[in-house]
Amino acid sequence: MKPKKVLIFAILGAFLAGIVFIGGVFFASGNYWMDRVQANSEESVDSDSSSPPGVGASTIADIVEKAGPAVVKIETYVSTKSQSNTYFDDPLYRQFFGQFDYTPEQKVQQGVGSGFIISTDGYILTNEHVVSDAQEIQVSIADVEKPVSAKVIGSDEELDLAVLKIDAGKDLPTIKLGKSSAVNVGNWVIAIGNPYSLDHTVTVGVISAKGRPITVQDRNYRNLLQTDASINPGNSGGPLLNLQGEVIGINTAVGSEAQGIGFAIPSDTVSKVVDDLIKEGKVTRGWLGVEIQDVTQSIADNLGLEDLEGVLVRSVTSGGPAEKAGVEKGDIILSWNGSKVKNTDQLLDYVGAEQSGKQVKLTVWRDKKTAELTVTLGER
């Protein structure tokens, strides 16, 4: 064979070998990257649980499955009179038979709300505004075929809390009250309720803020939890749960002009009064007998205060607990039983948390020096 042809065949063979080699490299590389893509896809499937970041795939579902049966739907009714027989409006009929007041009562649904069972024998927590003025209350339970009649055992308009009692003829599922003080802004929470009569609707969000004061339809709320978990009409009275399945709030209000802003009564507030509501039917609060306002910069300057903490006593009720203890108009209340008083809301919370007859030590600022007083609270 001529050298020229040998050279051509050698080049051609090297070329074909190169193609085979490069093809093998690309094939192996392709398999490698396909394996990586497949592995990443599997990891994505494993990690994508449709749950919030840092929450297990079944955490929320497990909580809802456990707590859901204890969440109830509350329907309230009032009786109204209506003219049901057109003959009574006929003047000729009335001329012969006289006047008749035929106005039979009809049961009309007043509203729908939520609640949750706190004892196996049928005590239920909800909002006071859910059941106020109701003549009849019906409670629907998950595993009970028909609604059960309920009665109000105790209620408090100021805190917007009510306790109902039902007799279902058997032990009922319950939810435990947790500690709202242990909840931090950013913690995940779960709301369960009946918005727009949609039974056992579940929404998820976070605690957006704590200690919020708001006013809703002439109700002044203090120290509420704020959440972006969807809360709508019908959610009122339902539980706001932490990731341990404990109630850390009672869903109460929603920002009507905003989205993602809902509010709940802290469970710590509920825990302090639930026994009073069950045993006494009301919340017994202490009474100090003063009119107060926050300390402004000008007040602090005039009275020689170094900061803006404390509350100014604007007036003292004659014969009230504060007057008897020696509190005077113009005093600045600095502390309550050793705890600093920062503003009027805090002092109101301190007073409201105590029972009548309780003795409390006050530190007041008067004549540019402090004085210690002991007051025995009255009942409001």
**What is the domain partition of the chain in residue ranges?**
73-166, 180-279, 286-379
Q: Is 134 exposed, middle or buried (0-12, 13-18, 19+ CB in 10 A)?
A: middle
pLDDT single digits (tens) 315-339: 999 999 999 999 999 999 999 999 9
Match 């649980």 to its residue by tokens: 49
Please state whether the predicted TM-score (pTM) of the whole model is above 0.75.
no
Residues 6+ apart with CB under 8 A from 319: none
Strands 359-366 and 369-376, sheet pairing: antiparallel
pLDDT of residue 44: 42
Q: Is 81 exposed, middle or buried (0-12, 13-18, 19+ CB in 10 A)?
A: exposed
Q: Which architecture does CATH list for 286-379?
A: Roll (2.30)
Q: Is the predicted pLDDT of residue 83 greater than 70, yes or no?
A: no
How is residue 331 written in tokens? 């005093």
pLDDT single digits (tens) 134-161: 999 999 998 888 999 999 999 999 899 9
pLDDT of residue 197: 83
The Cα–Cα gap between 198 and 293 comes to 44
Evaluate the CA torsion angle 168, 170, 173, 175 in order and state its sign.
positive
Residue that wins the pLDDT comparison between 285 and 376: 376
The Cα–Cα gap between 107 and 79 comes to 5
Residue from 160, 208, 230, 267 carrying the catalytic annotation: 160
pLDDT of residue 49: 46
Residue from 114, 129, 155, 156 carrying the catalytic annotation: 129
Provide the mean pLDDT of the chain: 84
pLDDT single digits (tens) 119-131: 999 999 999 999 9
> Residue 110, SS3?
strand
pLDDT single digits (tens) 352-372: 888 889 999 999 999 999 999
- Report how far apart the first and last C-alpha atoms of the chain are (Å, whole number): 121
Tell me if domain 73-166 and domain 180-279 are identical in fold.
yes
Confidence bin at 306 (pLDDT 50/70/90): confident
Q: Is 29 exposed, middle or buried (0-12, 13-18, 19+ CB in 10 A)?
A: exposed
- CATH superfamily of the domain spanning 73-166: Trypsin-like serine proteases (2.40.10.10)
Match 């398999």 to its residue by tokens: 31
Tell me how far apart the 2 most distant CA atoms of the chain are, in Å.
139
pLDDT single digits (tens) 5-25: 555 555 556 555 555 555 554
Instruction: Using alpha carbons, list the distances in angstroms from residue 22 to 11, 29, 34, 172.
Output: 16, 10, 18, 72
> Residue 102, SS3?
coil
Q: Is 349 a catalytic residue?
A: no
Q: What DSSP string runs through 301-345? A: HHHT-SSS-SEEEEEE-TTSHHHHHT--TT-EEEEETTEE--SHH
Q: Is 129 a catalytic residue?
A: yes
- CATH topology classification for 180-279: Thrombin, subunit H (2.40.10)
Q: Is the predicted pLDDT of residue 48 greater than 80, yes or no?
A: no
Tally: H helices and E strands in the chain: 8, 20
Confidence bin at 269 (pLDDT 50/70/90): very high
Residue that wins the pLDDT comparison between 86 and 312: 312
The Cα–Cα gap between 17 and 13 comes to 6
pLDDT, mean of residues 255-279: 87
92's enclosing H/E stretch is: helix 91-97
Q: Is 144 exposed, middle or buried (0-12, 13-18, 19+ CB in 10 A)?
A: middle
Q: Is 200 a catalytic residue?
A: no
Choose the weakest-confidence range: 10-14, 166-170, 323-327, 373-377. Answer: 10-14
pLDDT of residue 22: 55
Instruction: Using alpha carbons, list the distances in angstroms from residue 109 to 10, 74, 128, 131, 157.
Output: 96, 11, 17, 12, 21
pLDDT of residue 285: 85
Contact 127, 162 (CB under 8 A): yes
The Cα–Cα gap between 186 and 193 comes to 22
Residue that wins the pLDDT comparison between 267 and 1: 267
pLDDT of residue 98: 53
pLDDT of residue 104: 58
pLDDT single digits (tens) 216-256: 877 888 889 999 998 888 899 999 999 999 999 999 977 65
Residue from 155, 230, 236, 267 carrying the catalytic annotation: 236
pLDDT, mean of residues 285-294: 93
How is residue 122 written in tokens? 């049928």
Contact 188, 55 (CB under 8 A): yes
Residue that wins the pLDDT comparison between 33 and 172: 172
Q: How much of the chain, in percent, has pLDDT values that exceed 70? A: 77
pLDDT of residue 280: 92
Q: How much of the chain, in percent, has pLDDT values that exceed 90? A: 60
